[in-house]
Structure 1
Amino acid sequence: MTSHREAAHRAIAQLEAEQELIDNLGSGAPQLDAATLHPWVWGSVQGLWSSGHFREAMGMAAKAINAQTQAKLGRKHLSEAKLLSDAFSMKPPASGQPRFRHGADDGSDNYRSRHEGAGSFARGVYSAIRSPIAHELDHELEENEALEQLAAFSILARWVDEADVETAP
């Protein structure tokens, strides 16, 4: 009987030690700190986020990126998905229609893919995240889902911020 009791005590001690490691060291999975997101995004949502208004925070992040894009391109007549899709287009810039460029056009598939992908990503972020948030007013987001969406907006903000503006000659 004593050996069973000792085995049970050892098992309990091992489980407690494992839990202590998890509590102190975490699961080993990477953690996302919202404060490290692009400043256009986190700076625009911080107050809403801390009060648990995650849906409104997503809308604010979308508006912040839109405003920064409009200002950078000098194009206030377009917005959101259309604006960003047009901005990352591979079409040459035209009068009043500047384009975003990441690096020099070396004619490679990688260069084209990067710009086409950024335009598609921007359309997706605004269509699949921003649009439902704007129209489904009774649906609040869970914090984790909102953080994932905020990270998507942060990626887009970084691409916009880092892009060079190419204007028509």
Structure 2
Amino acid sequence: MDHAFAVRKLQEFLSLVGGYLLELDIASADVGAEWPEWPEQLVVQEAIARQIVNAYSPGLGDVEREETEHEASYWYRVRTAAAQALGMASSAEEIAAFLRPVSPSIAADSLHPWVWEPAAPLWAAEARQDAVLAAARTLNRRLQQKLDRHDIGETDLCMQAFDPQDAQSGKLRLRFPGDRATQTWRARQQGAKYFGAGVFLAIRNVAAHEEAVSWSRQDALEHLAALSVLARWIEECTAETASSSPQQ
């Protein structure tokens, strides 16, 4: 529902009906005064207001004119219904937010320091794309340092680092703790392998090669969160050399 439209139309109607009621009050006080006719616009606006009022509270806008009712009494009742609907429309978004189930939130400064520390100053400057790129580049350097691999990086390095195959000379592997004979351990290795590659392909490369991305604050924060997950996995894992690999 377009609450802003409802607020605007109800305010227009209330202003119009308020002016008409003022004229009725003047006519009632002055015996010789000419009784005002309905402004044509008031009739049009009343029809619109009724629909809006009933949209917020079905039946509230169905104000019926009683045969013996004073003209002003009818319009006062119509105005009251419109005012009630205006209150509902004005606070609809706040009420919906209040009634929404409590959900967890991501604290940016609780992301892995390899991610948030390089991103923080750029994020503060509203440079979200640069913040994500800085975090990805720092994470890549951390991965290279941990594996002592500077010949490759990012996607290729993730594919090699988490590969379940034994390490080779000069090509260390990252290994999660746990029983390597289990399907769960192998699933973690394979998952991290493709997740890491995907993070660099789909996030880092876009941030680096697109002149300007249309990421919202939420989009950029979620990208940083993905990088943070990868950073925690890299830190958790042990860098394993060919000589330290267990015999299969």
Task: Provide the TM-score with structure 1 as the length reference.
Answer: 0.85
1:168 aligns with 242
Gaps of at least 5 residues in structure 2 are 1-73, 244-248
2:193 is aligned with 1:119: yes
Say which of 130, 134, 140 aligns to 2:208: 134
2:131 aligns with 57
Residue 20 to residue 127, structure 1, CA distance change in 2 (3 Å) = closer
2:101 is aligned with 1:32: no
Cα drift, residue 5 of structure 1: 8.5
CA distance in 2, matches of 1:21, 1:91: 55
CA distance in 2, matches of 1:153, 1:116: 17
Aligned pairs, how many?
168
Structure 1 segments of 4+ aligned residues over 6 angstroms from their partners: 1-26
Give the secondary structure class of the aligned counterpart of 2:232.
helix
CA distance in 2, matches of 1:44, 1:73: 21
**CA offsets per residue over residues 125-148 of structure 1, 9 Å max, x none?**
111111122111x32343111011
**CA offsets per residue over residues 89-126 of structure 1, 9 Å max, x none?**
11101111111111144311111110010000011111
The structure with the larger Rg is 2
CA distance in 1, matches of 2:128, 2:122: 7
Residues 54 and 141, structure 1, Cα contact 8 Å, conserved in 2: no
2:141 is aligned with 1:67: yes
* Structure 2 letter corresponding to 1:65: L
Identity of aligned residues (%): 36
Residue 63 to residue 25, structure 1, CA distance change in 2 (3 Å) = farther
Task: Give RMSD over aligned pairs.
Answer: 2.4
The 5-angstrom pairing of residues 41-56 of structure 1 reads 41-56=115-130
CA distance in 2, matches of 1:109, 1:23: 43
Residues 45 and 60, structure 1, Cα contact 8 Å, conserved in 2: yes
1:79 aligns with 153
CA distance in 2, matches of 1:105, 1:93: 17
Cα drift, residue 19 of structure 1: 6.7
Residues 180 and 186, structure 2, Cα contact 8 Å, conserved in 1: no
The 5-angstrom pairing of residues 88-99 of structure 1 reads 88-99=162-173
Q: Which has the higher contact order (CA 8 A, sep 6+)?
A: 1
2:182 aligns with 108
Task: Provide the TM-score with structure 2 as the length reference.
Answer: 0.60
Residues 41 and 65, structure 1, Cα contact 8 Å, conserved in 2: yes
Gaps of at least 5 residues in structure 1 are none
Cα drift, residue 15 of structure 1: 8.3
Give the secondary structure class of the aligned counterpart of 1:151.
helix
Residue 89 to residue 132, structure 1, CA distance change in 2 (3 Å) = same
Cα drift, residue 25 of structure 1: 8.9
